[in-house]
Structure formats: structure tokens, C-alpha cells
């Protein structure tokens, strides 16, 4: 089966050659390399064109150029619309695929006739030599809500990335999945939309992807002297989106676990914002931080949860305290963690 590896390309000249070579040197053969040129200003596209003319698999590289910069979300939507493969794999322009990434994921997805296959991955950083391995179990899930239940009861729900997943293209198009046009968190929103449709999924323990944290990544609150408020608002937006999606899950047996994970994420984000409030420009309002701490469930619903009841009641109480008291509690938590 032909498989499309799709890479949004924008100002990645320092990393794109290593990324592309990891894709071009895959053990699986029948591949299309779909590059979405999002009108960058560096030499990234020149590097792609050089590889297209010199690499033995260069003829399989296809470049689609946007007329103007539209962002990574629309670049991925362009890939969904134009992929010629029966399967689709999203590769970020600064990460690395293991040599047998596609072969392992394809064998798994075909063997179980699944809609998606998810691999394990390594997490590294430009700033240190530390390598963290995120190992998935060897498991196949079948049935409506099977992946959702597994995510919220067993799997680390923070792993909401859309890279290192092999998708059936028909699954994406049938369910009309697309990326919301937001500067940050488009992958989180897509992931939370996508998992509600999955009826068959396979996870494998093999490491198939190397995720590299970059110092200038918008997905991380890194050491900076200034953070734009629009960036923070994008972070708030996708967390609010997750809360809205929770309303569709509130009657499921795993709802309590989902509520805890969503609220933990919001509380940690609030703490990060409070710690960096002085460098957010223009300054974020207390009202916006308090909105982040609001619960997507009522006290009655929290009490009715079969498990995680105490934690969810605690989150509800925190959300209903005056902001001044919330701030004292969060600042106290920050002080303890120092």
C-alpha cells in the first residue's frame, strides 16, 4: 500500500535535512513524501529541492506550495486533502523517524485491520542529553469508545500528539477530520476530535519516532523575556475546547478520569501563566486565569462520579473560590514545588 508522509515546511533549515533523510531512508518502500511549503523565508525549500534531485527516492517527493503563509494547521489540512496514499503519517519538520517506523506501524495496522496505529517514542531536548522513552503497550483495541476509555483509564492522556500515528486516509476523510486554524494546540484539538471516532486502534511498544524539544518551540513555555498574550490565549483556547468536548463524555464510565486529567492540565497551565505573568505582553487579566480554572462539570456530577470523586470535588471547590484565594493557593503550590 502507498503511504504518504506529510511534512509542513516553514523556516526549518537547521533541521529539515536530517528529518527528511530519516523519512527517505525508511525500510518501507512505497512512500510518497508530501511537503507543504508554507512560504517560509529561509533555505528550507532549497534543501528539499536538492534532496528531490539527488536522493535515490527524490522522485517520490511532491511539493505543494501555499500562496501565502497559513500556519501549520492549514498545512496539515492541505496534506489531508492531497495525500495520494491509502495511509497518512504526519512528520514534523524538526523530528526524526526511526529507520523502520513506517514498516512497523503498517504491519501493525494491517494485521489488526485498524483505523490507526500508534508507536512508542523517544523525547530528547536541544538543551540536554536526557532521553525519555515513552513506551506503549502491545495492544489492540476494538469497539466504539474503546480508545477513549483506554486513554482516560490507562494511557498517559498527556500524549495528545498527532505525529507517530499512522492513519487510514479513509478514516480521516470519512469522519471529516481537519485541523482548527489556531496558532497553538491545533494538534491537541485534532487529537481530541479524532479519538471520539476511533473504533479500532493498535498500539505497539517499538520506538518509531524521536521527538526533539526545541528552544524556540511555540508548544513550550521556554525561557524567554517576553511572551505574547495571543500565544497564551491560544493555550487557553484549546483547553477550553477540551472542556467542551468533555460534555460529550460526562455519562461515560471513564468520565471521572477524563475530568481529572482535563482539570490537572488547566491547573498546571494556570500555574505556568501565573509564574510568567510579568513577561506576558499585554498582561493577561485575572478574569482569564479564573476562567481557565472553571470546571466542565457540576458539583452534583462530581459527587456522582464512581471514582476520582474527591479530586473532582476539590477541583470544583477551587474553581468556585474567589480569585484572590485561588491565587494564594496556587502561589503556595508554586512555592512548595520550588
Same domain assignment for residues 180 and 245: no
pLDDT in tens, 207-264: 999 999 876 554 444 567 899 999 899 889 989 999 999 999 889 989 999 999 999 9
Distance of CA 119 to the CA centre of its chain: 14
Task: Please state which of the ranges 11-20, 186-195, 208-217 shows the lowest mean pLDDT.
Answer: 208-217
What are the distances in angstroms from CA 162 to CA 12, 26, 170, 179, 252? Answer: 19, 20, 16, 11, 24
Same domain assignment for residues 119 and 261: no
Nearest to 327, CA basis, from 263, 273, 250: 273
**Mean pLDDT estimate for the chain:** 93
Supply the pTM of this predicted model: 0.90
Rounded to an integer, the average pLDDT of 162-182 is 96
Domain boundary among 213, 237, 252: 213
What's phi and psi for 7, nearest 5 deg? -130, 115
Percentage of the chain beyond pLDDT 70 is: 96
CA 61, 64, 68, 73: dihedral to nearest 10 degrees? Answer: -90
What is the band of 337 on the pLDDT scale with cuts at 50, 70, 90? confident
Checking if the pLDDT of 157 tops 80, the result is no
How far is residue 307's CA from residue 310's CA, in Å, rounded to a whole number?
8
Residue 240 lies in domain: 227-337
Percentage of the chain beyond pLDDT 90 is: 82
Same domain assignment for residues 265 and 172: no
By DSSP bridging, strand 3-9 and strand 87-90 are: parallel
Same domain assignment for residues 32 and 176: yes
pLDDT in tens, 291-310: 999 999 999 999 999 899 99
Checking if the pLDDT of 145 tops 50, the result is yes
For the purposes of burial, counting CB atoms within 10 Å of the CB of 66, is it exposed (0-12), middle (13-18) or buried (19 or more)?
middle
Same domain assignment for residues 151 and 263: no
What are the distances in angstroms from CA 12 to CA 38, 44, 127, 176, 337? Answer: 11, 6, 18, 29, 35
How far is residue 311's CA from residue 309's CA, in Å, rounded to a whole number?
6
Task: Please state which of the ranges 14-23, 63-72, 118-127 shows the lowest mean pLDDT.
Answer: 118-127
What is the band of 79 on the pLDDT scale with cuts at 50, 70, 90? very high
Checking if the pLDDT of 57 tops 80, the result is yes
3-class SS at 231?
helix
Same domain assignment for residues 243 and 126: no
Number of domains in the chain: 2
Return the pLDDT at 221.
Answer: 46
How far is residue 100's CA from residue 26's CA, in Å, rounded to a whole number?
6
Same domain assignment for residues 234 and 207: no
How far is residue 6's CA from residue 48's CA, in Å, rounded to a whole number?
13
Same domain assignment for residues 76 and 168: yes
Residue 218 within a domain: no
pLDDT in tens, 35-46: 999 999 999 999
Domain boundary among 213, 240, 263: 213
Return the pLDDT at 220.
Answer: 46
Same domain assignment for residues 76 and 192: yes
Same domain assignment for residues 142 and 24: yes
Return the pLDDT at 129.
Answer: 84
Return the pLDDT at 216.
Answer: 56
Return the pLDDT at 218.
Answer: 46
Return the pLDDT at 35.
Answer: 98
Amino acid at each position: 500500500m502507498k503511504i504518504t508522509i506529510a511534512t509542513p515546511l516553514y523556516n526549518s533549515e537547521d533541521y529539515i535535512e536530517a528529518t527528511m533523510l530519516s523519512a527517505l531512508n525508511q525500510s518501507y518502500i512505497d512512500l510518497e513524501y508530501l511537503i507543504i511549503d508554507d512560504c517560509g523565508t529561509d533555505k528550507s525549500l532549497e534543501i528539499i529541492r536538492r534532496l528531490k534531485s539527488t536522493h535515490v527516492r527524490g522522485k517520490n517527493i511532491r511539493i505543494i506550495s501555499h500562496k501565502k503563509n497559513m500556519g501549520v494547521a492549514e498545512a496539515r489540512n492541505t496534506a489531508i486533502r492531497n495525500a495520494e496514499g491509502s495511509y497518512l503519517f504526519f512528520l514534523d519538520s524538526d523530528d526524526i523517524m526511526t529507520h523502520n517506523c513506517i514498516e512497523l506501524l503498517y504491519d501493525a495496522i494491517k494485521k489488526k485491520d485498524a483505523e490507526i496505529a500508534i508507536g512508542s517514542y523517544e523525547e530528547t531536548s536541544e538543551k540536554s542529553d536526557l532521553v525519555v522513552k515513552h513506551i506503549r503497550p502491545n495492544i489492540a483495541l476494538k469497539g466504539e469508545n474503546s480508545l477513549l476509555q483506554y486513554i482516560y483509564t490507562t494511557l498517559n492522556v498527556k500524549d495528545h500528539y498527532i505525529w507517530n500515528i499512522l492513519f487510514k486516509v479513509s478514516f480521516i476523510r470519512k469522519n471529516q477530520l481537519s485541523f482548527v486554524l489556531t496558532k497553538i494546540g491545533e494538534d491537541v484539538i485534532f487529537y481530541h476530535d479524532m479519538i471520539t471516532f476511533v473504533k479500532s486502534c493498535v498500539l505497539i511498544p517499538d520506538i518509531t519516532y524521536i521527538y526533539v524539544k526545541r528552544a524556540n518551540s511555540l508548544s513550550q513555555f521556554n525561557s524567554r523575556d517576553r511572551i505574547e498574550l495571543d500565544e497564551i490565549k491560544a493555550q487557553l483556547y484549546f483547553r477550553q475546547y477540551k472542556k467542551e468536548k468533555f460534555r460529550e463524555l460526562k455519562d461515560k464510565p471513564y468520565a471521572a478520569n477524563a475530568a481529572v486529567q482535563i482539570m490537572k492540565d488547566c491547573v498546571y497551565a494556570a500555574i505556568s501563566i501565573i509564574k510568567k505573568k510579568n513577561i506576558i505582553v499585554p498582561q493577561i487579566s485575572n478574569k482569564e486565569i479564573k476562567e481557565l480554572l472553571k470546571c466542565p462539570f457540576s458539583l452534583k456530577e462530581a459527587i456522582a462520579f464512581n471514582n476520582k470523586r474527591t479530586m473532582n470535588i476539590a477541583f470544583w471547590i477551587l474553581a468556585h473560590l474567589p480569585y484572590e484565594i485561588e491565587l494564594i493557593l496556587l502561589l503556595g503550590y508554586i512555592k512548595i514545588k520550588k
